[in-house]
Amino acid sequence: MSNPLVKPLNSEDKELKKLIQFYDETLGFCPNSIKTMFIRPQIAYAFINLNKAVMENQGELSSKVKRLIGYLTSTVSGCKYCQAHTIRAAERYGSNNKQLNEIWDFRESSAFTEKEKIAFEFTIAASSIPNQVDDEISSKLREYWDDGEIVEMLGVISLFGFLNRWNDSMGTPIEEGALESGNKFIKNWNPKKHIS
């Protein structure tokens, strides 16, 4: 794909500027995906409200782990755009270099707790097509996480399922900050589809 399916808005719209402010904390910029969704504003508003609800921490599932879950989900789905955004957000929310460099080797890594590792196993299983969540993963997950935390986890996985489809199909152009994080942390990084 040499051009985006639909180009993001480049607008001075007041409402779009409010949405852009929401992402300044998470990424340091507003994703082009939001600027594309805003072509139909209700989609952008609904998505941001879902994003806020999913990323609100009510248990022991941290913002950092939620972003790493988003990264794993996006990698399983193959969306380079979302991989770069989630690895950037994981860094901004406290993941250290060892964690960012070893996320795909989490099973053998000392950078993650057993509790985090089972969350990552669940993420990969839930993001796979066909779905791979089974009794063994479910049992292990419930040893460490309560129902509310599991709902939050699956909320992140599902949120990025939407974003992975949206951005890979749109060929959403990647922003400079996300490109920088992708270049720094993602192995075999080639976001060609997302570079206009």
Class of domain 14-188: mainly alpha
Q: How far is CA 66 from the centre of its chain?
A: 8
Kindly give, in sequence order, each residue whose CB lies less than 8 Å from that of residue 42, ignoring residues fewer than 6 positions away.
none
C-alpha 14/C-alpha 2 separation (Å) is 31
C-alpha 128/C-alpha 134 separation (Å) is 12
Q: Which amino acid is at 121?
A: E
C-alpha 166/C-alpha 183 separation (Å) is 22
Per-residue pLDDT 10s for the chain (196 aa) are 788 999 998 877 777 777 777 787 788 888 999 999 999 989 998 999 999 999 999 999 999 999 999 999 999 999 999 999 999 999 999 999 999 999 999 999 999 999 999 999 999 999 999 999 999 999 999 999 999 999 999 999 999 999 999 999 999 999 999 999 999 999 888 898 898 7
Q: What pLDDT, on the 0 to 100 scale, is given for residue 14?
A: 79
54 contacts 152 by C-beta, under 8 angstroms? yes
C-alpha 195/C-alpha 107 separation (Å) is 33
Kindly give, in sequence order, each residue whose CB lies less than 8 Å from that of residue 193, ignoring residues fewer than 6 positions away.
1, 80, 81, 168, 171
Residue 36, Cβ density class (10 Å: 0-12 exposed, 13-18 middle, ≥19 buried): buried
Domain ranges in the chain? 14-188
Per DSSP, the three-state class of 97 is helix
C-alpha 19/C-alpha 156 separation (Å) is 20
Q: What pLDDT, on the 0 to 100 scale, is given for residue 50?
A: 95
Residue whose token pair is 């089974």: 134
